[in-house]
């Protein structure tokens, strides 16, 4: 009876916690996030089927082969094994792992490339750098910079160049795509896109000290025309970013949302070393083979 109530308590607690969670990864607003959400849902369904089958077999075994009243001299029959059962318990796990591996590799290549349907569009390049404990977003094309918030246009691919002015962080906008590390000595590239206008949450998903919990930023996806209007307004009203001001921003601490004309890329360039995506690595590998 105690075990029964303990099990029911665990189940109730799990449902209570999960019901209070906002599963943003399952509410995609962009093609990259949709690909990842589909993989997560497929994995959940497949694992649920496996759990149901395993518990069904367990219940059958417990009922069929439960202890019964036998004579004291009873000896169970000697069984060598069952080839069919042994084949099933070996082949089925191999098939499951092979299938999930194929889906995972295929989806990884998809999310590392330009979002599907955006191949012919010019990406908006944004340099996203982190410091303790804030995010700096530089728009070289628009020549503006923001702190702790992003404005992005819908229906246009986004190419984030990630790096850090402090410890390793992880750039993550759950409703637009997966996370990727930002490091001090190299640039990593993350391809995203927003299909639906709205406000989304972004954060650092990698523990980076006592201010980690508040190392967040807001993302507002707007139609292209509204994005252009915002850029014009920033250029007319924001103060210019200077090297002195930027060095002040790099000091550890928390800040609100800030906007500047110009970018720190002019006087403090990002690292020159670039991390390669899977697609870029594959391209480089082909070039090496051709040269050989």
Strand-by-strand arrangement of the 188-192 sheet: 188-192, 158-164, 124-131, 134-139, 144-147, 258-261, 239-240
Return the top range by mean pLDDT from 16-20, 185-189, 205-209.
Answer: 185-189
CA distance 260 to 142: 11
* pLDDT band for position 2 (cuts 50, 70, 90): low
**pLDDT for position 153:** 97
Nearest C-alpha neighbor of 271 from the set 206, 177, 189: 189
Which tops the pLDDT comparison, 281 or 247?
247
Cβ contacts of 23 within 8 Å, gap of 6 or more: none
Q: Map tokens 């490091």 to a residue.
A: 183
pTM of full prediction above 0.85: no
Lowest mean pLDDT among 54-68, 189-203, 272-286: 272-286
Are 248 and 258 a contacting pair, CB within 8 Å?
no
8 Å CB contact between 173 and 192: yes
The answer on pLDDT for 211 being more than 90 is no
Tracing tokens 């109530």 back to the chain, one arrives at 5
pLDDT in tens, 215-232: 999 999 999 999 999 999
Cα separation, 239 vs 62, whole angstroms: 74
Q: Where are the domains of the chain?
A: 124-285
Report CA-CA distances (Å) from 257 to 25, 155, 218, 226, 260. 25, 25, 9, 19, 10
Considering the chain, what percentage of its residues have pLDDT values greater than 70? 86
Query: Could you tell me which residues are beta bridge partners of residue 145?
Result: 138, 260
* CA–CA gap between residue 130 and residue 72 (Å, rounded): 74
What mean pLDDT is predicted for residues 15-34? 74
d(CA 245, CA 56) in angstroms, rounded, equals 65
Is residue 273 pLDDT above 80, yes or no? no
Residues present in the chain in total: 292
Topology of the domain comprising 124-285:
Immunoglobulin-like (2.60.40)
Query: CA 112, CA 280: separation in Å to the nearest integer?
Result: 9
Alpha helices in the chain (DSSP H): 2-19, 31-64, 83-112, 224-237, 243-249, 278-291
**What is the average pLDDT value for the chain, to the nearest integer?**
87
Q: Which residues contact 175 (CB under 8 A, 6 or more apart)?
A: 24, 25, 27, 28, 29, 30, 33, 200, 201
């Amino acid at each position: 009876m105690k075990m029964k109530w303990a099990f029911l308590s665990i189940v109730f607690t799990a449902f209570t916690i999960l019901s209070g969670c906002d599963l943003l990864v399952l509410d995609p607003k962009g093609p990259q996030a949709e690909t990842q959400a589909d993989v997560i849902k497929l994995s959940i369904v497949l694992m649920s089927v496996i759990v149901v089958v395993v518990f069904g077999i367990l219940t059958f075994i417990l009922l069929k082969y439960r202890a019964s009243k036998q004579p004291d001299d009873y000896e169970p029959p000697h069984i060598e094994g069952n080839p069919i059962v042994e084949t099933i318990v070996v082949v089925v796990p191999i098939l499951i792992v092979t299938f999930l591996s194929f889906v995972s590799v295929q989806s990884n290549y998809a999310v590392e490339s330009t979002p599907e349907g955006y191949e012919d569009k010019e990406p908006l390049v944004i340099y996203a750098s982190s410091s303790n404990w804030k995010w700096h977003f530089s728009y070289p094309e628009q020549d503006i910079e923001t702190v702790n918030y992003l404005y992005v246009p819908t229906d246009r691919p986004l190419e984030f160049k990630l790096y850090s002015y402090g410890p390793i962080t992880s750039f993550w906008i759950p409703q637009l795509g997966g996370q990727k590390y930002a490091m001090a000595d190299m640039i990593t590239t993350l391809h995203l896109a927003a299909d639906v206008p709205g406000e989304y949450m972004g954060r650092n998903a990698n523990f980076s000290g006592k201010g980690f919990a508040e190392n967040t930023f807001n993302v507002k996806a707007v139609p292209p025309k509204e994005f252009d209007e915002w850029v014009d307004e920033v250029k007319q009203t924001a103060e210019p970013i200077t090297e002195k001001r930027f060095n002040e921003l790099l000091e550890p601490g928390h800040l609100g949302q800030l906007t500047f004309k110009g970018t720190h890329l002019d006087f403090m360039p990002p690292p020159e070393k670039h991390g390669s995506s899977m697609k870029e690595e594959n391209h480089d590998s082909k070039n090496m083979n051709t040269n050989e």
